[in-house]
Amino acid sequence: MKGRKISVLFLCSHNSARSQMAEALLRHYAGEHLEVYSAGLHPSEINPFTRQVLSEMGLDMEGQYAKSLMEYWGGKFNFTYLIVVCDRAEQECPLFPFSTYRLYWPFEDPSAAQGPDEHKLERFRAVRDQIAARVRGWLRELEAKHILPSTTSTQ
């Protein structure tokens, strides 16, 4: 993998919360070393709470929108890693021939939270923090394998 940028596609069902968070967080921590994308099997709108919890970290989602997996289908893109972040996408997309490695990182769907907005926001923050921890851990693994520079996951 040395000599070319590692490309990563995060996949979930709607590309409205988890995959958007993962894309923004990985870009934040290692964007200069990686090409990072996200998509959904059935894209909808980015959840406003997704934008809010990322904004709380200083991450700007300007220009981001929910994208369909079909935008990346057909060989236009070949990804180093496909990272599936929800159960539904894992079940509905058992094969994706345009990636070298497939990882499965299931996270709770914060969009399914019920109750007052403050409770929903807490769920989005919790999932954001879980994704951030998983992304940083994965970057440390890539650093240990000398795939990425050793300062990437500490940003």
Beta strand segments in 13-146, E? 34-40, 79-84, 99-104
φ and ψ at residue 13, rounded to 5 degrees: -75, -45
In eight-state DSSP terms, residue 68 is B
Token representation of residue 58: 């200083």
Contact yes or no for 38/9 (Cβ under 8 A): yes
Catalytic residue among 86, 132, 139, 142: 86
Catalytic residue among 57, 93, 103, 147: 93
Q: Is 9 assigned a catalytic role? A: no
What is the rounded end-to-end Cα distance, in angstroms, of the chain?
Answer: 22
Catalytic residue among 6, 8, 9, 12: 12
Q: Which of 54, 62, 65 is nearest to 26 (CA)?
A: 54
Q: Is 93 assigned a catalytic role? A: yes
| Active site members | 12, 86, 93
